Structure 1
């Protein structure tokens, strides 16, 4: 017997309504102390003029107001929701997202994706620093010191699509040698005078290809393909130099994509292959990623930036410049770990009258007994300031030989004094002191040593101990929350601009959650954690 039960797309027609349906207000469903209320209040008064300029004045209005879309996106990142499809699902089912929409239609996932990667790209950084300046106006920032640290996050890219600069250079030079041989044969057979120069390889190859094309047209050369068919001389040279031209074009594109790096990723050309802390295979595998830098003050992230350099030492100066430009004020001091120590960084901070609380790279080694007993180290030699000489373990003098200039990757020039021992011939301590065949030499930058000593004294002071302890709590704690609690360990978008957009949204969500926690725990206005006294 056939069933009379029919299904409909509208499930309300399947049975009776079991509860009274009213146009309920969502105001009563959101708790009074919920973080979404604070987020909506803090983001309401920001200047969205740059965001509205991204929209065209012609055509229909957007489905959801751009200000509301920004609130939804920021709240989603604060709640560990990063996928556009999951954000769309939350807008349809989550009461807090519905409350933010305020009766507007839930946006589609494609609308969210277009807004995030297109309309918000230019305005997100401005909105983030507006929020930081708002925290400053509320007295939440100390403006005394900024804690700086960095981490590497994996890019949204294939980990096997790497291109190495050394490999490209090797194959390019090998091909150039083959091109030279082919051009020599071409000139001999066709009685020409073509030449290939290193600075204009593509143009010279294009000139040869045009000559061969014209020759093939004049002689009505028939191109044959397949096994058992003999190619003419014109066809052989034509195909050979076309392959050379295609390969040279690819090599030029690779060289342009490096932009000062040793490698790049084909899937995301802005990403650089780096060693990640999460090495589950324990084989030191390189993965495409970005170097994320943040500056923290009073537990809030006040600045963030994306770098392609694997080393933190080259990020300090550009990061400080960007932070000062966007915040509108300069911190009195900078606290960072040993990875940021450099003469360039010390000089930059001294010129701007900022106190450096940077731990020396050899700080931990100085404490070891093996280091103190190493006679080859400069620290274990006696220095006479009047004569500017060092005395080695054997009692011989190391005198200044000459001064050489070194230029860093960023263009900073430093002066290095080279000291050489009087005579190491027959010295019984030479094996422990140096590996050089001749006399032992020391390469010392006096300016760097003087600035390092000043920073070393700063971190040993009472305030320095307080800053170092808070650096490990605040900035390293911020990365711990972002990577573990927020489960953000891999970017979703590709390209440096879009990656920076993601980290800005994440930091803004982190700051709003931190403000909410401080308000609820009555900790507003607290900037530093006190040092616990030992019993």
Structure 2
């Protein structure tokens, strides 16, 4: 029988025919125009006081200097390396990572993961926004034009651990009916007068359970369990109310986690189930995800926000407030697509004295011939501002008959004027104008119509056209690079704060890459792409 050859864990015993010779200074192996040099230069100039405060002053010294580890992590994200194990491997094999480590010992994957999750989380915003003061100092950022857009990125959560608010509310309502029935039966049995209400359900159940416990002690009743044992009514009532109390506690926990959302994932409670974009087979996907917002100027990502909202309307104001508080600067112009259009957003930007270039949601429809021929549309009716009346296709007047109010998901209250036509019964165009049995009614927010018209006039100017074209190029282009070129389509970490840290690291690497590309292509100082001329 042939004997199996044994191997030692140490492979140096095999020897080799070539001795690798490295220079004493590894820097000579790195090209002069390598992006790692630019990254090291920029990050070296940041203030790391907030990062060092995250470490205990009495604990042991970190294995790798926090500033150096931050450089390593940022450079990893610049090179599409996101896993802590792959970053550890790169530090052992890649000459650029070795150069950034400055002779320090290679950090292991747990050190990298702990640094990203525990130490970097509280100061990443400060480090991220510091970079833009550097870009402002070299005249790359003027804080003039902010291009805003959002995208949905899948969370690191199980797709089937969903909890739906509608289902919770439905089951909670059904259980409340069962509780009422149980309490009524209990009152009839013991001639009591217990009551339950939805507002204080747990407290009411505890009162009833306390009564049953006292009655059990008085009767010295032993509860039975197992097959063939007959339970007393007292035991049945006690077990039923205990089960109801436990289920209500679960429902209360679910409702606290919803926080205005309609769903969340059990494996990442901060993630919301959202409709993702169709795949190549045009199949709509419903996955746990985050709504990531970015602001771009001069092709650099100057602001990042992570939200749980499924649409973009409610994200604009908190996103701009966060950016302003961090940058201590306010942009002159805000350019966004139709997904951000709302009366509340218009009024906020106007109050902040910022010029808004937001495309109306009906902008594309306005261009169509079918829209222009639709006599039922408000835009196709003549409006007399002095009398506050609309004139329909048949020459009849739609007069204001009342005012109603509409409250948005954010709590904003808008005033809606209700108009009604004076007579529609004999109108030959009624079937083309309205489906109402009576007179035609129309609800109009005057403030919204006014601000929408201002935005429409802004985007149709020569400057507005230039900014709209650049919005498509710069902010949508940034998402295209991050999601396709950088292959970042799913977060590795869980929790809203960890996700934001991860995405900010990605954007820091993206910005260094962008500055490097602009320097190499001699495009420094060019914040906008010019319009193509025929």
Q: TM-score band (shorter)?
A: over 0.9
Separation in 1 of the partners of 2:117 and 2:218?
53
Deviation at 1:20, TM superposition (A): 6.1
1:342 aligns with 2:342: yes
Q: How much has 1:5 moved relative to structure 2?
A: 7.3
Task: State the secondary structure of the residue aligned to 2:50.
Answer: helix
Q: Hey, what does 2:117 align to over in structure 1? A: 117
What pairs with 1:356-375 in structure 2 (closer than 5 Å)?
356-375=356-375
Q: How far apart are the structure 2 equivalents of 1:22 and 1:341?
A: 59
SS of the aligned residue for 1:399 comes to strand
- CA positional deviation for 1:512: 0.6
Q: Is the 8 A contact 2:166 2:262 kept in 1?
A: yes
Write the deviation string for residues 141-175 of structure 1: whole angstroms up to 9, x where unpaired. Answer: 13221100111111111112221212111111111
Q: Secondary structure at the match of 1:315?
A: helix
In the other structure, the counterpart of 1:483 is: 483
**Distance (whole Å) between structure 1 residues aligned to residue 442 and residue 4 of structure 2:** 96
Counterpart for residue 419 of structure 1:
419
Tell me the SS of whatever aligns to 2:455.
helix
Q: Does residue 140 of structure 2 align to residue 129 of structure 1?
A: no
SS of the equivalent of 1:492 reads: coil
Partner of 2:219: 219
The question of whether the paired residues in 1 share the 8 Å contact of 2:277 and 2:285 is answered with no
Once the 2 structures are TM-superposed, how far is the Cα of residue 22 of structure 1 from its aligned partner? 6.2
Deviation at 1:281, TM superposition (A): 5.9
How many angstroms does 1:23 deviate by?
6.9
Contact (CA 8 Å) 2:360, 2:456: kept in 1 or not?
yes
1:27-426 matched pairs, under 5 angstroms: 27-279=27-279, 282-426=282-426
Deviates more, 1:443-452 or 1:66-75: 443-452
CA 1:428 to 1:26, structure 2 compared with 1: closer, same or farther past 3 Å? Answer: same
Measure how far apart 1:3 and its partner are: 7.7
**Distance 1:25-1:2 versus aligned 2 partners, 3 A rule:** farther
- Post-superposition Cα deviations, 1:296-335, rounded to whole Å, max 9, x if no partner, equal 0000000010111111111111111111111111111111
d(CA) in 1 for partners of 2:377, 2:494? 46
Is the contact made by 1:75 and 1:509 (CA closer than 8 Å) also made in structure 2?
Answer: yes
CA distance in 2, matches of 1:219, 1:172: 33
Confirm or deny: 8 A CA contact 1:51 1:123 kept in the other structure: yes
Task: Report the more deviating stretch, 99-108 or 16-25.
Answer: 16-25
TM-score normalised by structure 2 residue count = 0.96
For 1:512 and 1:77, locate their aligned partners in 2 and report how far apart those are by CA, in whole Å: 11
Deviation at 1:342, TM superposition (A): 1.1
Q: Secondary structure at the match of 1:157?
A: coil
| Matched residue SS, 1:110 | helix
**SS of residue in 2 equivalent to 1:64:** coil
SS at match of 2:331: coil
Deviation at 1:426, TM superposition (A): 2.7
Segment of structure 1 superposing worse, 407-416 or 252-261: 407-416
User: Equivalents in 2 of 1:225, 1:98: separation in Å?
Assistant: 67
Q: Please give the secondary structure, in 2, of the residue aligned with 1:203.
A: helix
Taking the aligned partners of 1:197 and 1:338, their CA distance within structure 2 comes to 44
Counterpart position of 1:504: 504
- Which deviates further from its counterpart, 448-457 or 274-283? 274-283
In 1, Cα distance between the equivalents of 2:502 and 2:43?
17
8 Å contact kept, 1:324–1:330: yes
Q: Post-superposition shift, 1:412?
A: 2.2
> Which segment drifts farther, 93-102 or 24-33?
24-33
Deviation at residue 198 of structure 1 after TM alignment: 1.4
**1: CA distance between counterparts of 2:3 and 2:178?**
80
Q: Which residue of 1 aligns with 2:526?
A: 526
Residue pairs, 1:467-482, within 5 angstroms: 467-482=467-482
SS at match of 1:346: helix
Deviation at 1:262, TM superposition (A): 1.5
Contact 2:145 2:332 in 1 (8 A): yes
Partner SS, residue 199 of structure 1: coil
SS of equivalent to 1:236: helix
Asked if the contact 1:64–1:104 (Cα under 8 Å) also holds between the matched residues in 2, the reply is yes
RMSD: 1.8
Offset at 1:13? Answer: 2.3
Provide, for residues 200-224 of structure 1, a one-character-per-residue CA deviation record: whole Å limited to 9, x for no partner. Answer: 1111112222332333344333333
- Count how many residue pairs are aligned between Structure 1 and Structure 2: 534
Distance 1:225 1:402, change over 3 A: same
- Please state how far the C-alpha of 1:283 moved relative to its aligned partner: 4.5
Checking the alignment, whether the CA contact within 8 Å between 1:8 and 1:14 is kept in structure 2 is: no
Q: 1:84 to 1:20 in 2, by over 3 A?
A: closer
For the 8 Å contact 1:265–1:272, the answer to whether it is kept is: yes
Which stretches in structure 1 are left out of the alignment for 5+ residues?
none
| 1:4 CA displacement | 11
What is the Cα deviation at residue 285 of structure 1?
3.3
TM-score norm. by structure 1 comes to 0.96
Alpha-carbon distance in structure 2 between the residues aligned to 1:178 and 1:115: 51
Per the TM alignment, residue 21 of structure 1 is displaced from its structure 2 partner at its CA by 5.5
Q: CA contact under 8 A between 1:7 and 1:14: conserved in structure 2?
A: no
Conserved 8 A contact 1:51-1:66: yes
Q: CA offset at residue 406 of structure 1?
A: 2.4
Q: CA deviation at 1:28?
A: 1.5
Q: What SS class does the counterpart of residue 305 from structure 2 fall into?
A: strand
Structure 2 CA distance for aligned equivalents of residues 282 and 518 of structure 1: 36
What residue in structure 1 maps to residue 429 of structure 2?
429
> Secondary structure at 1:289's aligned position in 2?
strand
Secondary structure of 2:200's aligned partner: helix
Unpaired segments of 5 or more residues in structure 2? none
